[in-house]
Amino acid sequence: MSAFDNSRLAAVVLGAGKGKRMKTDTPKVLHPVCGRPMIEYVLEAASSVGAGETVLVVVQGSGELFSEAGAGIRCVEQGEPLGTGHAVRVALEALDEDFEEILVLHGDSPLISGGTLQALIDERRAQDAAASLVTTELERPDGYGRVVRDSAGGVQRIVEEADASDEERDIKEVNGCMYAFRRPLLEEALAGLTTDNTQGEYYLTNVVERLVSGYGTVVPVVAPAEEMLGINDREQLAAVDSIMRSRINKGLMESGVTFLDPDRTYVDYGVDIGRDSVIFPLVFITGRSRVGSGCRVGPCTTVKDSVIGDGCVVEFSYLEGCEVGGDVNIGPFSRLRPGTRMLATSKAGSFVEIKNTVVGRGSKVPHLSYMGDALIGDEVNIGAGSITCNFDGEKKHSTEIGDRAFIGSDTMFIAPVKIGRDAATAAGSSISRDVPDGNLGIERTAQENIEGWRERRKRKGSQKKGTGKI
């Protein structure tokens, strides 16, 4: 088999860990890292080496994991969880015999790269070894299995921390829990495993000692320490999330995006940002979001599952499920809810809320307004304090505002209602009937000024004080 022919290599990903230290009802490997379940990073790394098949080992009843695995991933249930060695044995039973090499990964190590996995495979082949394993050195190796070497420097065995002596715990080289095996030798070694350890489980790590003692060498492949980081508790989850976020932000900066403070800017995996955009601190761009080129986003802004066109400015605002065209100005302190479409050169100003509404080209909702379930034409101006009264207690109703309409401040649209093209509404009006094209809609009662009101109020107050009544 050539160095890059992996068609007869199968990847086994262990995803059956319960994550007791996470204190969670969610399968550990489904916890998100930068908006993406950690298991997906591992599956992507396995896919990058071109394995002929990938098997994901899950606990019984893991419906969520089955759905997350996606096309081309084969899921097998471990049944009774008897340890990592047992999990690999279950996976091998499900694999066709044509797969001669087995790559084993843990689903809680999302920082692993495809390049490290390919090096792991190539090194085993180059030395015709029984197996290869990833190792690294840590100043604080707490929680990791230690790699014990013989006098000649070869890998002798791996000892789990719970079973290690004081001398072994001082070893800085740790096991990365990623291996490449010759399948026949792996199967023989697995068959001889016992549960004689503190956990009472079949340790996959014990395979290393069995291979060295009876079947050949096990080759160490040293990798960057951060790629080895596993996740067993919430603190480790936060640490890995921080590293992944740095990778994402670094990649975006290399593509031409400016981050004023990358350590305080939070961008999910898969988010695309165009060149020459400037991202300010305390910005969260999450989910299936895209930001165009030449934009200015933030500070203190959330963009969730939204698309923002080129040349936009978004400040101190919250966008969710929105589509924003080019050269749109949003904020400060705007909230754009799902279903909002802001067409090119439109504006949503300060303290504006928009929901399930189309705002036409060049139209403006400058400040202190709510537009819900509305269709706003082009070049419309919405006066301050205007709202659509779209909910009657049972159903939502729509408001339509035609092109070039001018809406006076504090207009109430009692939906359903239509405002025609070039129409206008007078400030302070409650509009409950359609306004035809070019008409002015006005609804006000006659103003009444009450003479002497202040003096009468003062006298009435004095009388109450004199009688002791309040």
31 is catalytic: no
For 114, list phi and psi in degrees, rounded to 5. Answer: -65, -30
Helix, strand, coil share (%) of the chain residues, nearest 5: 25, 30, 45
For 203, list phi and psi in degrees, rounded to 5. Answer: -80, 130
Which residue among the candidates 31, 86, 106, 367 is catalytic per the annotation? 367
For 62-130, strand residue ranges (E) read 73-77, 101-106
Residue with tokens 């084993």: 104
HSE-CB at 223 with a 13 A cutoff on CA atoms is 28
| Triad 26, 27, 32: Cα angle to 5° | 75
Contact 223, 134 (CB under 8 A): yes
Q: How far apart are CA 233 and CA 171, in angstroms?
A: 23
Q: How far apart are CA 428 and CA 134, in angstroms?
A: 72
Running DSSP on this structure, what letter comes out for residue 408? P
Distance of CA 338 to the CA centre of its chain: 18
Q: Which residues contact 373 (CB under 8 A, 6 or more apart)?
A: 355, 356, 357, 388, 390, 396, 397, 398, 399, 415
- Kind of pairing, strands 155-159 and 146-149? antiparallel
- Kind of pairing, strands 36-37 and 32-33? antiparallel
For 348, list phi and psi in degrees, rounded to 5. Answer: -125, 110
Report how far apart, in Å, the C-alpha atoms of 352 and of each of 304, 348, 355, 431 are.
18, 6, 10, 20
Which helix (H) or strand (E) segment holds residue 238: the answer is helix 234-254
What are 466's two structure tokens? 């004199």
Instruction: State the distance between the two ends of the chain, measured CA to CA, in whole angstroms.
Output: 98
Is the bond into 416 cis (omega within 30 degrees of 0)? yes
HSE-CB at 451 with a 13 A cutoff on CA atoms is 0
* Nearest in space to 372 (alpha carbons), one of 394, 393, 400, 403: 400
The residues annotated with a catalytic role in the active site are 367
